[in-house]
């Protein structure tokens, strides 16, 4: 009986221990919400609101003051560029770019004042910038070319240019494109990247421009007299300048004439009128002094027989003759 009783008591103690453990766990479980409430009630809400309020206030002040400073700085930059005689298109573009960059920095600074990590923001901005750059690579190329055209100034508004095989007068140079008015009153819009990669001929960049007029005289004419007439007409024209002096050269022995060329200089705005007046005077004076202005001629020789030596008249007569139109030759 002692052994059996001891075994029974051991089982009773083990069961009692398990029951007590379950009751303790149940008490802990039922007491957890109360502890949580006690912890929440123990938070210093006033201090927390005060801390976050100060952070938000600091971020708002940083944003407002930074935005004002960015605006003032961008406007001041545009004024400085204007005093430096930088093109208004370029100065306005740089003002907007500088304002946007500074505004982004102000926003990042304001967010960092709240506690937002700036490292991830810079990484995000870098990835977004890379994506935008790849998507707008053609537009960015035009922008870079436009800045180069405005800064380097290969031509200005009003210049007579030949750009990318297009000739006309420059109307406006923009950031993305350049507008040109052709002489037949067509509006030509060229992307700036096309202009910077093509040859540019500017006829208006220098104060003077050379006139070249080619003239052909006959092989039997007096070349010295022709040269004297050309030089005299150049000196008599009031739009032709004396420095550099006009001169005439024999440039080619053509098929039907000896080619001369008159070289004279005039002021750039007078180029069209001066060349027209000289051309008309040269034609009249050469003819008036007995000199000829030959034009190409071709001689056409017609042979009245075919390859076999038969006269063409006989062949043509046979081709149009009907029966009985041509009497048969008498047989001997």
Can you give the pTM of this predicted structure? 0.53
The partner residues of 70 in beta bridges, in order of sequence, read none
How far is 48 from 41, CA to CA, in rounded Å?
13
pLDDT digits (tens, 9 = 90+) for 247-291: 999 999 988 889 999 999 999 989 989 999 999 999 999 999 988
Residue 149: per-residue pLDDT: 85
- Whether the Cβ atoms of residue 304 and residue 316 lie closer than 8 Å to each other: no
Token pair 């379950």: residue: 22
Task: Work out the average pLDDT over 211-237.
Answer: 92
Nearest Cα neighbor of 124 from 108, 136, 137 is 108
Would you say residue 126 has pLDDT above 50? yes
Would you say residue 16 has pLDDT above 60? no
The three-class DSSP label of residue 106 is helix
Mean pLDDT over all residues of the chain?
A: 77
pLDDT digits (tens, 9 = 90+) for 163-216: 988 999 999 888 888 999 999 999 999 998 889 888 999 998 889 999 999 999
Q: Which domains does the chain have, with CATH numbers?
A: 46-135 (1.10.287.1260), 154-202 (2.30.30.60), 208-288 (3.30.70.100)
How far is 111 from 99, CA to CA, in rounded Å?
18
């Amino acid at each position: 009986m002692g052994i059996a009783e001891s075994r029974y008591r051991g089982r009773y103690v083990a069961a009692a221990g398990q029951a007590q453990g379950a009751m303790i766990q149940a008490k802990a479980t039922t007491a957890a919400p109360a502890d949580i409430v006690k912890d929440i009630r123990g938070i210093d809400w006033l201090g927390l609101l005060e801390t976050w309020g100060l952070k938000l206030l600091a971020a708002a002040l940083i944003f407002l003051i930074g935005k004002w400073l960015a605006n003032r700085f961008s406007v001041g930059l545009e004024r400085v560029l204007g005093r430096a005689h930088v093109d208004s298109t370029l100065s306005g573009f740089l003002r907007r770019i500088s304002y946007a960059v500074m505004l982004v920095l102000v926003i990042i600074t304001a967010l960092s004042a709240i506690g937002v990590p700036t490292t991830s923001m810079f990484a995000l901005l870098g990835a977004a910038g890379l994506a935008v750059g790849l998507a707008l690579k053609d537009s960015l190329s035009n922008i870079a070319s436009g800045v180069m055209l405005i800064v380097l100034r290969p031509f200005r508004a009003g210049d007579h240019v030949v750009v990318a095989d297009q000739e006309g007068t420059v109307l406006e140079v923009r950031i993305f494109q350049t507008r040109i008015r052709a002489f037949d009153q067509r509006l030509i819009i060229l992307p700036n990247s096309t202009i910077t990669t093509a040859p540019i001929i500017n006829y208006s960049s220098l104060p003077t421009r050379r006139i070249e007029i080619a003239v052909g005289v006959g092989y039997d004419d007096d070349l010295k007299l022709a040269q004297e007439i050309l030089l005299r007409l150049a000196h008599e024209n009031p739009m032709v300048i004396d420095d550099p002096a006009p001169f005439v050269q024999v440039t080619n022995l053509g098929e039907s004439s000896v080619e001369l060329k008159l070289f004279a200089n005039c002021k750039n705005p007078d180029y069209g009128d001066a060349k027209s007046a000289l051309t008309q005077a040269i034609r009249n004076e050469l003819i008036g002094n007995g000199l000829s202005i030959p034009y190409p001629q071709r001689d056409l020789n017609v042979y009245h027989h075919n390859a076999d030596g038969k006269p063409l008249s006989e062949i043509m007569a046979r081709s149009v003759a009907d029966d009985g139109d041509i009497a048969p030759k008498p047989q001997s």
